[in-house]
Chains A and B, each alone.
Chain A
Amino acid sequence: MGMLDSRAIAIVGYAETRLVRRSGRSALSLAGEAVDRLLERTGVERSRIDGLATTLAMSEAGNPFYSSLVAEGLGLSVSWCQATDIGGASAGGNIIRAGMAIEAGLCDIVLCLAADAVSTQDRSMQSGHRTEYADPAGYAGPLSAFALLSSVYDHRHGLPHQALARLAVTQRNGALLNDNACEVLRKPLTEQAYLDSRVVSDPLRILDCVMRCDGASAVLVMSTRRAREMGFEKLVHPIAYAERINFDPREERDADILQSGFTDVAPRAFQAAGMKPSDMQMLHWYDDFLIALILQLEQTGFCGPGEGGAFVLAHDMGHAGELPLNTGGGQISAGQPGLAGGGVNLVECIRQLFGEAGARQVRRHGNAMLTGIGVIPYARNWGTSAVMLLERSQ
């Protein structure tokens, strides 16, 4: 058995900062706050942490020694260090990479970190096709890509406007119950207000898109054996994981731009766990754009192509509903702290599995499905897709 299906890896604690629009702080400052909180909550001494996996930060993107900067800044001397650069899939990717390093005997206790202050300062510059072929053509960033994808969906199936409105409101209701969500987003939203919101790039509305902010999250990973030795009672195990980088570069999938790597990673993850979509008790899905949630529903086996809208309208996806989704507001309604955005979904996922989500706690919290979406390739669907299935220790 591998480390996942044998439940050999455990997440023992999590912490996050509030998400703040233009905090004026740095990624390291935010990381320090999250780590302080994590150590306090877990009672683990900083000197026992001997592994570090971190997402990158757009606010520090010019620094080619980023993970070392983080280790030095946080006073960590580690025997294994990793910067995970698969975009929004990095926070989940950190967990699995940490598990691999522990299994390999390279380290014992790993801090998995996600911190970015992109709304205060963006020092990122995407060399390659973005600057040479996309920007000159009129590309205005990820929202251009998702507007173009949405236009194809609209042409083929008709955009499910009412379902998108439902998703916007459902997640906003989660943010209203989440003290860590961006303050500017913690205002009640109606479906009509979503439908009436400004179009930024047809057919994409402003409320289809995430708002960038600053924030950090931190998660502590160790072997299940070590976690038991140290007396941790609440554990969450990653039980299956699959990721795909650079999906279908030769267009062998019918040259269909709507197809993403989720058509590959979801079946692999479900098969590895011996589970199916209907076994999932809650979804913590990467939500940089609402249409990405519709496409994930259709491509991870919850429904068929073109049926995502009907699925949303047929299911209560609020925290008290039958299939809770992004219960803290997700990134759409809590904010996207740049390359640390995947940490928003990850930490809410762990908090719910631990049963610590307070007023928005879901009823059934034995397992969860976490996803990540990564980079935007040239003129294709997103390039990186990742699925992790997690389970609360019995």
Chain B
Amino acid sequence: MNAAVHHLPSDIGRPFREGLAQRRLMLQFDAASGRAQFYPRPQSLYSEAGVQWREASGRGTVEALTLSRVAPPHLADAVPYALALVRLEEGPRLMARIAAPFETLAIGQAVAVAWDASGETPAFPVFMPA
């Protein structure tokens, strides 16, 4: 396998990745209706008016929640960790770890984005109870 190709991310998500470096959670919004979408797509899912990138509030609620005792390689030392689908205030679901003890978490709980400085650079968004 060609490692260079493997690691080349899509151009579509560049504003999202640039946002990570500034600890800003960037989302695409439909240029006509303002409806947000995640993950980044080449078109708006909702109209042919195109997308605009804006920073998200970073607030959301837990919609699905698991304590994962398995992990992708870069998180092998972090198990077990709470993994969630967070319904962002702007609408879309985002998959993210919740940096809090699993026993203290529940579906429906309010969370806010946090930036884990200890891990990768730039940090991928994690959430904390709000």
Contacts and interface: CB of A to CB of B under 8 A. Distances in A.
Interface of A: 62, 123, 125, 128-129, 131-141, 143-144, 147-152, 155, 199-204, 249-250, 257, 378-380
B1 A201 contact: no
A257 B85 contact: yes
A140 B72 contact: yes
A138 B71 contact: yes
B70 A201 contact: yes
Contacts of A379: 38, 85, 92-95
Q: Indicate the member of B1, B71, B97, B108 with the most A CB atoms within 10 Å.
A: B71
B39 A148 contact: no
13 contacts: A136-B72, A140-B72, A144-B70, A148-B85, A151-B65, A155-B107, A199-B69, A201-B68, A201-B83, A203-B66, A250-B46, A379-B92, A379-B93
Contact of B1 (A123, A138, A141): A123
Contacts of B68: 138, 140, 144, 147, 201
The secondary-structure label for the interface of chain A is: mixed
Contacts, number: 105
Contact of B66 (A132, A202, A380): A202
A133 B64 contact: no
A125 B1 contact: yes
A129 B12 CA distance: 11
A151 B64 contact: yes
Given A137-B83, A137-B124, 19 more contacts: A131-B9, A132-B9, A133-B13, A133-B38, A133-B95, A136-B120, A139-B83, A140-B68, A144-B66, A144-B83, A147-B66, A148-B83, A151-B107, A155-B108, A200-B70, A203-B66, A257-B64, A379-B85, A379-B94
Nearest to A140: B70
A135 B72 contact: yes
B81 interface: yes
B72 A138 contact: yes
Interface size class of B (residues with CB under 8 A): 35 or more
The secondary-structure label for the interface of chain B is: mixed
Interface of B: 1, 6, 9-10, 13, 38-39, 45-46, 63-72, 74-75, 78, 81, 83-85, 92-97, 102, 107-108, 120, 124-125
B9 A136 contact: no
4 smallest CB-CB distances across A and B, nearest first, come from A148-B64, A147-B66, A379-B93, A140-B70
B46 to A, nearest CB: 7
Nearest to A199: B69
A125 B10 contact: no
B78 to A, nearest CB: 8
Contact of A62 (B1, B10, B66, B75): B1
A219 to B, nearest CB: 32
A146 to B, nearest CB: 9
Given A128-B10, A132-B13, A380-B93, A201 B67 contact: yes
Nearest to B123: A136
A162 B56 CA distance: 42
A301 to B, nearest CB: 25
A140 B78 CA distance: 12
B72 A133 contact: no
A200 B102 CA distance: 14
A26 B78 CA distance: 35
Contacts of A137: 83, 94-97, 124-125
